Structure 1
Amino acid sequence: MTKHHIYTMSFAKVYPMYIAKAEKKGRTKAEVDEIIYWLTGYSREELEKQLENQTDFETFFAQAPQLNPSRTMIKGVVCGVRVEDIEEPTMQEIRYLDKLIDELAKGKAMEKILRKR
């Protein structure tokens, strides 16, 4: 079975799109970064290095320092698919991030996006 093309796509190519989507709705790059740090455990320096290296999505998530255990609380639909029902782990991580960015763009409070109780 061939890998989905997003796995080999550079995270650095999609990252500006996440920022643009957020900024279009009055949110900030800092909030996008905070979501990425929360989800993956990357620090600012580590994220910058991944962007500089043009790391693909599969490697980006495989090398994530600490995937947040609370990410399993992320529920909902992205691209017509329920994120909690995605069986392929890497695709699920990608869709978790997509869902969080969608929530940011829809104006949801950061506390709720980051699943703080």
Structure 2
Amino acid sequence: MSVASVYPHYVAKAEKKGRTKAEVDEIIRWLTGYSQETLEAQLEKQTDFETFFADAPQLNSSRSLIKGVICGVRVEDIEEPTMQEIRYLDKLIDELARGKAMAKILRE
């Protein structure tokens, strides 16, 4: 599945709750280390999630601080690395949609 196929859903979920596309992009950049330009290039190329995370310039070391349940599963207990990265991203987007402050979402 490509990141670009899910990305509009992330943005729609955020905007429905009064948040912005820019905040979604900031979360993705924080998690992966992509610049805005390289993020947009990955979306344009229809990169699949496995490649997206494997090619990420710098996965944020603070992502291990992301805890909680997404789709009924604790993100910290997911053993498959790519699925865990996807669920980290899902969890961050959920926190954004729930109105959490960006500083807390980005584990500052």
TM interval, short-chain normalised: over 0.9
In the TM superposition, 1:36-51 aligns within 5 A as 36-51=28-43
TM-score by length of 1: 0.92
Tell me, which stretches of 5 or more residues in structure 1 are unaligned? 1-8
What amino acid is the match of 2:6? V
Q: Distance in 2 between matches of 1:17 and 1:33?
A: 13
Q: Distance in 2 between matches of 1:73 and 1:51?
A: 26
The CA deviation at 1:72 is: 0.1
**Equivalent position of 2:4 in the other structure:** 12
Tell which structure's C-alpha radius of gyration is larger: 1
**Equivalent position of 1:114 in the other structure:** 106
Q: Distance in 2 between matches of 1:54 and 1:11?
A: 7
Q: Distance in 1 between matches of 2:107 and 2:43?
A: 26
**Equivalent position of 2:95 in the other structure:** 103
Query: Percent of aligned pairs with the same residue?
Result: 84
SS at match of 1:98: helix
SS at match of 2:25: helix
- 2:86 corresponds to 1:94: yes
TM-score by length of 2: 0.99
SS at match of 2:83: helix
**Equivalent position of 2:67 in the other structure:** 75
Q: Distance in 2 between matches of 1:37 and 1:48?
A: 11
**Equivalent position of 1:22 in the other structure:** 14
**Equivalent position of 1:32 in the other structure:** 24
Tell me, which stretches of 5 or more residues in structure 2 are unaligned? none
SS at match of 1:91: helix
Runs of 4+ residues over 4 Å off in structure 1: none
Aligned length: 108
